[in-house]
C-alpha cells in the first residue's frame, strides 16, 4: 500500500545491513520487510517486542531518521511493537505515537533550542516579536533561505510559542506540498472545495512552509490567494517560508508574490564556523553528551567538514554518535573521520583529509610491485612509457577511490602541478574506458590492496 515508503525503508535497511554487525542486523532489522503504516509524515515500523522497539529507539532511530531525511524530507520513523498493537491500550498508544500535535506543529522546534548566530540573529529577533505580538508587528512574515538553514524550525518555533502562550488561538501549520495535494483531492469529491476552504476559516495563525512549491500550480495559487486575502484582511497572522526571495519566485501570480512582500522578509544565511560549533554543542547537550568529555578538535573537525547547512551538520553529528555507540569507541577526531567518510558530501577543501596516509603508501607499494618498477621512479618525472602508465593508474585510483583533489595528488607525487595530474588522470580515464587491460590492471591493484574492485 505504501510503495514509496516501503522502497525507501528497504534501501535504508540495506544500508543498515552494511553498517551493522551481522547479529545486530539480523535480530533487529532483518525481520522488518514492510512499513506498517504511514501517517502525518511518520513511517511506522512494526517489530516483535517492546524490547526490540526500545533498543532500536535508543540506539538506531536517529541514524535511521538521518538516512530517511536523504530520501524523504520531513518524514520520520516510528517504531511500534506487536505487543502494544494487540493490547487494549493500543488506541490510546496510537494517539501518543504522533510527534506532531493538532496544529501540525512539531513540538521539538522551539525558540529555546534554536541557536542564534550572525546568520539568523535578525530573523530570530523579529520572529520572537511576532510570536509575542502577532500581526501587529508585521504581516505576513516571509522567511527565506537555502535548504537546511532553519526556516521550518523558526516558523514552527513561532507557532509553538503562540500555541503555548495563547492556547485559545487556532494555529495551523501546513506544508505547501500538502496544501496542494489536499486541494487536488478536494476537487475529486462533491462539495470538496467548500470543505477545503472552510478548514481555514477559523484559523488565527497560518504557517505555510515552502511556498515555492506553489510555482506553476495556477489553480492552487488562486485558492491560496483567497485564503491569504481573507485571513490577512481579518488581521490574522500569516507566516511563510520559501527557498528564495519573493521577487525571485517565478510562475506565481504577481498579486500573490507582491503580497508576500507586504510585511517583513527575513533571510537566514549559512552559519559561520563559530555558530556551527555552538550548534554542535547545543545538539550534544540535547543528546545528553557531556561536553567536557568531547574533544574540541572533534567539534572543530565536524564544523569544518559540514559548512553548508545545519541539517547536514546535525546529521553528521548524529552519525558520529551512532558510530561511537555501535563500535563502542571514543569521540576522537580519528573516529570522526572514519565515521563520516561516506556519509556527508564534503566540501572540496576537506575531501583530502579522508585519504589516510597508510592507504596512499599502500597504493604506491602495490603499484610498484605489480608493475615491477622502482617506487622512486613512480614518484619521479620519468617519461618512460611503463612508468607513466603506472603513475597515471595511481592518479586514477586516488581520484576515484579516495576523492583526492588533483592538487593533493600532485603533492604526493613530488609536487607535480595539478594540471599535469589532471592531464595524466584524463589520459588514463580514456584508456580505462576503452581497454579491458586497463580495467583489469585497476581491478588487480585494488584486489591486492584488499579493496573491493567493483567500488571504483
Ligand atoms: P529548512 O526548513 O531551512 O530547510 P530546517 O528548519 O528543517 O531547515 O532545519 C534543519 C535542521 O537543522 C532541523 O533539525 C533544525 O532543528 C536544525 N536547525 C536549523 N537551524 C537551527 C538553529 N539555528 N539552531 C538549532 N538547530 C537548527
Ligand atoms: Mg523546511
DSSP per-residue letters across 278-334:
HHHHHHHHHTT--GGGS-HHHHHHHHHH--S-HHHHHHHHHHHHHHHHHHT----HH
Residue 275, in any domain of the structure: no
Q: Is the CB of 158 under 6 A from ligand 1?
A: no
Q: Which ligand ends up closest to the CA of 286?
A: 1
Q: Could you identify the atom of ligand 1 that is nearest to the CA of residue 109?
A: 16
Question: Which of the 8 DSSP states describes residue 45?
Answer: E
Question: Quick one: 151 and 253 in the same domain?
Answer: yes
Q: Which ligand ends up closest to the CA of 313?
A: 1
Q: Could you identify the atom of ligand 1 that is nearest to the CA of residue 108?
A: 16
Above 90 in pLDDT, residue 54?
no
Q: Tell me the mean pLDDT in the region 133-140.
A: 97
Three state DSSP letters for 365-383: HHHHHHCCCCHHHHHCCCC
Q: Which ligand ends up closest to the CA of 173?
A: 2
Q: Tell me: the pLDDT tens digits for 268-320?
A: 999 999 999 999 999 999 888 999 999 999 999 999 888 889 998 998 998 89
Percent of the chain at pLDDT exceeding 70: 91
Q: Which ligand ends up closest to the CA of 69?
A: 1
Question: Quick one: 383 and 341 in the same domain?
Answer: no
Of all protein residues, whose CA lies closest to atom 5 belonging to ligand 1?
Answer: 150
How confident is the model at residue 86, as a pLDDT? 59
Distance CA 421, CA 61 (A): 43
**CATH code at position 157:** 3.40.50.300
Question: Quick one: 198 and 66 in the same domain?
Answer: no
Q: Is the CB of 115 under 6 A from ligand 1?
A: yes
Q: Tell me the mean pLDDT in the region 61-88.
A: 80
Q: Could you identify the atom of ligand 1 that is nearest to the CA of residue 117?
A: 23
Domain boundary (320, 349, 378) is at 349
Q: Tell me: the pLDDT tens digits for 399-410?
A: 887 777 787 788
Q: Is the CB of 150 under 6 A from ligand 1?
A: yes
**CATH code at position 300:** 1.10.8.60
How confident is the model at residue 57, as a pLDDT? 87
Q: Could you identify the atom of ligand 1 that is nearest to the CA of residue 146?
A: 3
Q: Is the CB of 242 under 6 A from ligand 1?
A: no
Question: Quick one: 126 and 260 in the same domain?
Answer: yes
* Contact call for residues 186 and 310 (beta carbons, < 8 A): no
Q: Is the CB of 63 under 6 A from ligand 1?
A: no
Residue 71, in any domain of the structure: yes
Q: Could you identify the atom of ligand 1 that is nearest to the CA of residue 147?
A: 4
In 58-110 the beta strands, taken as DSSP E runs, fall at 76-81
> What confidence tier does 4 reach under pLDDT thresholds 50, 70, 90?
confident
Residue 106, in any domain of the structure: no
What are phi and psi for residue 450, nearest 5 degrees? 80, 20
Domain count, the chain: 4
How confident is the model at residue 49, as a pLDDT? 82
Residue 342 CA to ligand 2 center (angstroms) comes to: 25
Q: Which ligand ends up closest to the CA of 66?
A: 1
Q: How far is Cα of residue 141 from the mean position of the Cα atoms in its chain? A: 25
Distance CA 294, CA 325 (A): 14
Distance CA 341, CA 351 (A): 9
Residue 124 CA to ligand 1 center (angstroms) comes to: 12
Residue 369, in any domain of the structure: yes
Q: Is the CB of 151 under 6 A from ligand 1?
A: yes
Residue 95, in any domain of the structure: no
Domain boundary (87, 103, 135) is at 87
Question: Quick one: 242 and 166 in the same domain?
Answer: yes
Question: Quick one: 329 and 436 in the same domain?
Answer: no
**CATH code at position 425:** 1.10.1750.10
Question: Candidates 118, 122, 143, 148: which one to mutate for ligand 1, based on the most atoms within 8 Å of Cβ?
Answer: 148
Residue 421, in any domain of the structure: yes
Above 90 in pLDDT, residue 346?
no
Above 90 in pLDDT, residue 349?
no
What are phi and psi for residue 335, nearest 5 degrees? -65, -35
Antiparallel, parallel or unpaired: β 171-175 and 237-242:
unpaired
Residue 308 CA to ligand 1 center (angstroms) comes to: 12
Q: Is the CB of 266 under 6 A from ligand 1?
A: no
Residue 240 CA to ligand 2 center (angstroms) comes to: 11
Q: Is the CB of 119 under 6 A from ligand 1?
A: no
Residue 96, in any domain of the structure: no
Distance CA 296, CA 161 (A): 33
Of all protein residues, whose CA lies closest to atom 14 belonging to ligand 1?
Answer: 311
Question: Quick one: 300 and 361 in the same domain?
Answer: no
Grid coordinates of 209: 512552509
Q: Tell me the mean pLDDT in the region 150-171.
A: 96
Q: Is the CB of 123 under 6 A from ligand 1?
A: no
Residue 247, in any domain of the structure: yes
**CATH code at position 70:** 3.30.300.180
Of all protein residues, whose CA lies closest to atom 26 belonging to ligand 1?
Answer: 114
Q: Which ligand ends up closest to the CA of 213?
A: 2
Grid coordinates of 206: 497560518
Model's pTM, two decimal places?
A: 0.63
Question: Quick one: 240 and 149 in the same domain?
Answer: yes
Of all protein residues, whose CA lies closest to atom 19 belonging to ligand 1?
Answer: 150
Q: Tell me: the pLDDT tens digits for 85-121?
A: 655 444 333 333 334 566 889 988 999 999 999 999 9
Question: Quick one: 130 and 253 in the same domain?
Answer: yes
Q: Tell me the mean pLDDT in the region 431-455.
A: 88
Residue 187 CA to ligand 2 center (angstroms) comes to: 27
Q: Could you identify the atom of ligand 1 that is nearest to the CA of residue 115?
A: 24
Q: Which domain holds residue 376?
A: 355-455
Q: Mapping DSSP to helix (H, G, I), strand (E, B) and coil, where does residue 63 land?
A: helix
Domain boundary (268, 300, 324) is at 268
Percent of the chain at pLDDT exceeding 90: 62
What are phi and psi for residue 267, nearest 5 degrees? -100, 145
* Contact call for residues 333 and 305 (beta carbons, < 8 A): no
Of all protein residues, whose CA lies closest to atom 13 belonging to ligand 1?
Answer: 311
Distance CA 212, CA 100 (A): 23
Question: Quick one: 20 and 60 in the same domain?
Answer: yes
- Sheet with 141-144: list strands edge to edge: 171-175, 205-209, 237-242, 141-144, 264-267
Residue 224 CA to ligand 2 center (angstroms) comes to: 19
Question: Quick one: 12 and 135 in the same domain?
Answer: no
Q: Could you identify the atom of ligand 1 that is nearest to the CA of residue 209?
A: 2
Q: Is the CB of 147 under 6 A from ligand 1?
A: yes
Question: Quick one: 238 and 134 in the same domain?
Answer: yes
Of all protein residues, whose CA lies closest to atom 20 belonging to ligand 1?
Answer: 150
Amino acid at each position: 500500500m505504501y510503495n514509496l515508503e516501503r522502497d525507501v525503508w528497504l534501501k535504508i535497511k540495506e544500508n543498515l545491513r552494511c553498517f551493522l554487525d551481522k547479529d545486530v542486523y539480523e535480530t533487529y532489522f532483518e525481520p522488518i520487510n514492510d512499513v506498517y503504516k504511514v501517517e502525518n509524515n511518520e513511517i511506522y515500523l512494526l517489530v516483535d517486542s517492546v524490547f526490540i522497539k526500545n533498543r532500536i529507539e535508543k540506539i538506531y532511530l536517529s541514524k535511521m531518521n538521518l538516512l530517511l531525511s536523504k530520501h524523504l524530507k520531513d518524514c520520520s520513523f516510528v517504531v511500534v511493537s506487536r505487543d502494544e498493537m494487540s493490547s487494549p491500550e493500543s488506541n490510546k498508544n496510537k494517539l501518543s505515537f504522533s510527534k506532531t500535535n493538532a496544529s501540525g506543529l512539531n513540538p521539538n522546534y522551539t525558540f529555546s533550542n534554536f541557536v542564534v548566530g550572525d546568520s539568523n540573529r535578525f530573523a530570530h529577533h523579529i520572529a520572537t516579536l511576532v510570536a509575542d505580538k502577532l500581526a501587529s508587528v508585521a504581516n505576513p512574515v516571509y522567511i527565506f533561505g537555502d535548504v537546511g538553514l532553519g526556516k521550518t524550525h523558526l516558523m514552527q518555533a513561532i507557532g509553538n510559542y503562540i500555541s503555548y502562550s495563547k492556547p485559545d488561538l487556532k494555529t495551523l501549520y501546513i506544508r505547501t506540498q500538502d496544501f496542494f495535494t489536499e486541494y487536488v483531492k478536494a476537487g475529486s469529491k462533491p462539495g470538496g472545495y467548500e470543505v477545503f476552504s472552510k478548514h481555514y476559516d477559523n484559523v488565527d495563525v497560518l504557517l505555510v512552509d515552502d511556498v515555492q512549491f506553489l510555482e506553476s500550480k495556477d489553480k492552487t495559487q488562486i485558492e491560496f490567494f483567497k485564503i491569504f486575502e481573507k485571513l490577512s484582511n481579518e488581521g490574522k497572522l500569516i507566516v511563510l517560508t520559501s527557498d528564495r526571495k519573493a521577487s525571485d519566485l517565478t510562475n506565481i501570480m504577481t498579486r500573490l508574490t507582491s503580497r508576500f512582500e507586504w510585511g517583513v522578509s527575513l533571510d537566514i544565511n549559512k552559519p559561520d564556523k563559530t555558530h556551527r560549533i555552538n550548534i554542535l554543542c547545543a545538539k550534544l547537550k540535547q543528546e545528553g553528551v557531556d561536553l567536557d568529555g568531547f574533544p574540541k578538535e572533534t567539534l572543530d573537525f565536524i564544523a569544518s567538514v559540514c559548512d553548508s547547512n545545519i541539517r547536514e551538520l546535525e546529521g553528521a553529528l548524529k552519525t558520529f554518535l551512532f558510530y561511537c555507540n555501535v563500535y563502542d569507541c571514543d569521540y576522537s577526531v580519528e573516529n570522526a573521520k572514519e565515521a563520516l567518510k561516506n556519509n556527508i558530501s564534503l566540501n572540496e577543501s576537506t575531501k583530502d583529509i579522508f585519504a589516510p596516509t597508510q592507504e596512499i603508501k599502500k597504493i604506491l607499494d602495490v603499484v610498484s610491485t605489480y608493475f615491477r618498477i622502482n617506487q622512486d621512479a613512480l614518484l619521479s618525472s620519468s617519461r618512460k612509457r611503463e612508468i607513466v602508465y603506472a603513475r597515471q593508474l595511481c592518479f586514477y585510483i586516488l581520484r576515484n577511490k579516495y576523492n583526492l583533489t588533483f592538487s593533493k595528488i600532485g603533492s604526493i607525487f613530488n609536487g607535480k602541478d595539478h594540471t599535469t595530474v589532471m592531464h595524466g588522470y584524463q589520459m588514463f580515464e580514456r584508456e580505462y574506458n576503452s581497454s579491458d587491460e586497463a580495467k583489469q590492471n585497476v581491478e588487480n591493484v585494488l584486489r591486492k590492496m584488499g579493496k573491493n574492485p567493483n567500488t571504483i
